[in-house]
């Protein structure tokens, strides 16, 4: 379980994240939604110990992420291109990730086989450096690499951005299949994407958790009305 208590992050005098309490349980599919600047990436970075909180802690299975590294053994994540190694080909990057988990080449081959339709013959075996791939193919590389090791927790930040419609559909199918067996957290500014694949929706606004709802027809209408009213206020 992931538990947050009184978590804050400040940059100078600016408070960019302030969450009093949040618990995320195994087997949940979580959609983290908010407009640009809402604090989504800041929260994910704190969950992954990429930045340090100004106040509070992120606790995973009873241990603070900055004090105990055991959570890394069962957590997969892809946030952006910084998670990739540009001077490797995707095949080399997959091999690197596989070897860190003690997998051999046959393990990796068997793992990749069901994901080849998602990669769409544009990534594996192409002998292109990652830096020369399109943004969409870099994202596909990072998402599949995050699954190597069969993590129990999967965290994806804006996974649908830069993907063509066909690949977005494949990704939604993939996330739905994974959420049957993993804790999946998907962050996006697009409400429709996350409500298609997640059962619990968290809304961040200006660094605060303003809604935490289970997906139903009623709550979907509520969320649409909420973002509609926010848009009108901004105008």
> pLDDT tens digits, residue range 76-96?
999 999 999 999 999 999 999
For residue 153, what are the β-bridge partners?
A: 75, 183
Residues sharing a CB contact under 8 Å with residue 57, sequence separation 6 or more, in sequence order: 4, 5, 7, 64, 65, 66
pLDDT at 225: 87
Residue 30 bridge partners (DSSP): 185, 200
- Domain chopping of the chain, boundaries: 2-234
* pLDDT at residue 131 is higher than 90: yes
Residue-level pLDDT at 181? 83
**pLDDT computed for residue 122 by the predictor:** 87
Give CA–CA dist 15/2, Å, rounded. Answer: 22
40-80 per-position pLDDT tens digit: 999 999 999 999 999 999 999 989 999 988 999 999 999 99
pLDDT at 231 over 60: no
Q: Which two tokens stand for residue 135?
A: 């943004």
Segment 130-135 long-range contacts (CB within 8 Å, at least 24 positions apart): 130/84, 130/85, 130/86, 130/87, 130/88, 130/89, 130/90, 130/93, 131/86, 131/87, 133/90, 134/162, 135/162
Going by C-alpha positions, the residue among 172, 28, 141, 129 that lies closest to residue 78 is 141
Which residue in this structure is represented by tokens 């998907």?
Answer: 186
114: tokens are 């069901």
The partner residues of 64 in beta bridges, in order of sequence, read 59
Mean pLDDT estimate for the chain: 92
Mean pLDDT of 18-32: 94
Q: What percent of the chain has pLDDT over 90?
A: 78
CATH number at 2-234:
3.40.50.300
Q: Cα–Cα distance between 87 and 181 in angstroms, integer?
A: 33
């Amino acid at each position: 379980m992931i538990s947050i208590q009184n978590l804050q992050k400040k940059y100078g005098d600016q408070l960019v994240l302030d969450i009093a309490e949040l618990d995320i349980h195994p087997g949940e599919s979580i959609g983290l939604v908010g407009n640009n600047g809402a604090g989504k990436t800041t929260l994910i970075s704190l969950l992954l110990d990429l930045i340090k909180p100004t106040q509070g802690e992120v606790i995973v299975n009873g241990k603070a992420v900055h004090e105990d590294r055991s959570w890394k053994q069962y957590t997969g994540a892809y946030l952006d291109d910084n998670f990739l190694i540009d001077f490797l080909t995707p095949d080399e990057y997959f091999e690197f990730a596989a070897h860190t988990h003690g997998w051999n080449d046959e393990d990796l081959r068997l793992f990749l086989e069901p994901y080849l339709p998602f990669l769409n013959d544009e990534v594996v075996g192409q002998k292109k450096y990652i830096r020369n791939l399109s943004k969409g193919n870099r994202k596909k590389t990072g998402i599949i690499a995050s699954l190597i090791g069969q993590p129990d927790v999967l965290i994806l930040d804006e996974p649908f951005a830069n993907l063509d419609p066909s690949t977005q559909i494949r990704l939604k199918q993939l996330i739905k299949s994974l959420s049957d067996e993993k804790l999946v957290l998907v962050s996006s500014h697009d409400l429709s994407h996350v409500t298609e694949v997640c059962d619990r929706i968290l809304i961040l606004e200006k660094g605060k958790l303003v809604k935490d709802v289970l997906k139903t027809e009623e709550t979907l209408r509520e969320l649409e009305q909420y973002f509609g009213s926010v848009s009108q206020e901004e105008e």
